[in-house]
Structure 1
Amino acid sequence: MATDDYSIQPLTAQTWNAFAAMVERHNGIFGGCWCTYFHDQSLERGPGYDGSRALKQRLVEGGVAHAALVMLGDEAIAWAEFGTPDELPNIHHRKQYLAEVDVLPDYRVTCIFVDKRYRKHGYAKVALDGALAMIAARGGGVVEGYPHEVGEQRMNNSFVYNGTRAMYEQAGFAFVRAKGLKNTVMRRTVQPA
């Protein structure tokens, strides 16, 4: 399980280097994405890994990319990306999602990642809880997450980019509906801090 010597810090220009070091240790995350997939795809970016890196850094420095970083000392070991639907409009199965939407959330949690050296110790849940605390500090509201239904078969980590349904249930989210194959829409209200 997660140790008590971690801290939660927001992704900012001041924590960029720790975030970047973790992403670089994992070859840009999910094929060089740099956790930019969920941002507006019309934003100007250069090609490949370097283009995604530069875009993410611009978004962080501009205050429109948010994440809760789990830190062990000065090293980032996990994160949970969150933002408003305007900041993170691009979600998997978007067409189905929009056709079935009943409530547009105030915030979304779109990506959770844990350094491969620290997996299976509860840090994904720590990152999710950190994101929810940061959302509470921003005034709270309706929060959606899109975790996966993993079932009994083990799924590759690249397919569990937003955690599992069980983890979200532990964090107080309620199942709303299925989305695509093995994806869900889950929701909870976060009270202001």
Structure 2
Amino acid sequence: MAITVRPATVFDDIKEVVGPKHPDASVCWCLTYRLPAKENKALTGPARGERIAAMLQDGPIGVLAYDEDEAVGWAAVAPRTETTFDRSRTIPRVDDADVWCVWCIRIKPGHRKKGISHHLLAGAIEFARGHGATILEGYPLDNAGETINTTMAYVGTKALFESAGFRHVADTKSVLDGFPRLLMRLNL
């Protein structure tokens, strides 16, 4: 397995990893933290994918991991100011620094437990750095090695972020699957 990570520019590849199995399903499409709550809630079914396609017209919206030519993983990465984290009541803003954030790391079923999340996080770091970011934040779970429900594992773990050089800079009020989320940073 030779994993490569590239900017997410191909709609069909994004759809392969974060899109629904059934076209009319209202799955996340990784829009929850990108859009204001009212707009996010109003988008249902195919309109969610159409919104992603429209966003792609402005350039890449994250990174994808490939095993040869197959898209097998996704990481959302963008300036914090372009996300709802910028106004979050549960994930604090620790200072006025111009930060980017990586908030979703998704591995396609059948490809999990192969280290792909490490490749995706490294790709997100390079993507942010390549776009001029000087600080990258993540909001992973502090699960202390305990098993996380697959549905909630998309935020990553403290151990994953630590392995990429991130450091814990603040606690948050956010909890997923019973585990607290941390605010972790990497200076680029």
Name the structure 2 match of 1:150: 143
Give the C-alpha shift of residue 152 in structure 1: 4.3
Cα RMSD for the two superposed structures:
2.6
Corresponding residue of 2:100: 107
Which residue identity is paired with 1:34?
W
- Match of 1:69? 64
Report how far residue 142 of structure 1 moved: 0.8
3-state SS of paired residue (2:156) = coil
Runs of 4+ in structure 1 deviating by more than 4 angstroms, as ranges, are 25-28, 42-46
TM-score norm. by structure 2 comes to 0.84
Deviations 1:5-62 (A, max 9, x none): 22211111xx22112123346568x960100011131658863232211111111222
Aligned pair 1:85/2:83, yes or no?
no
Distance 1:96 1:25, change over 3 A: closer
Q: Which residue does the alignment assign to 1:11?
A: 8
Q: Structure 1 pair 152/143, CA: closer, same or farther in 2 (3 Å)?
A: closer
Q: Could you tell me which of 186, 189, 192 is aligned with 2:187?
A: 189
Aligned-partner SS, 1:168: helix
- Match for residue 35 of structure 1 among 30, 35, 38: 30
Report deviation, 1:103: 4.1
Opposite residue 116 of structure 1, the aligned amino acid is P
* Structure 1: runs of 5+ lacking an equivalent: none
TM-score by length of 1: 0.82
**Structure 1 contact 34–49 (Cα < 8 Å) conserved:** no
CA contact (8 A) 1:18 1:74 kept: no
The whole-number CA distance in structure 2 between the counterparts of 1:61 and 1:140 is 21
Percent identity over paired residues: 23
Q: Does 1:95 align with 2:89?
A: yes
Structure 1 residues 178 and 31: CA distance shift in structure 2, 3 A: farther
Instruction: Give the unaligned 5+ runs of structure 2.
Output: none
For residues 92 and 150 of structure 1, the distance between their equivalents in structure 2, rounded to whole angstroms, comes to: 24
Cα pair 1:142 1:189 within 8 Å, conserved = yes
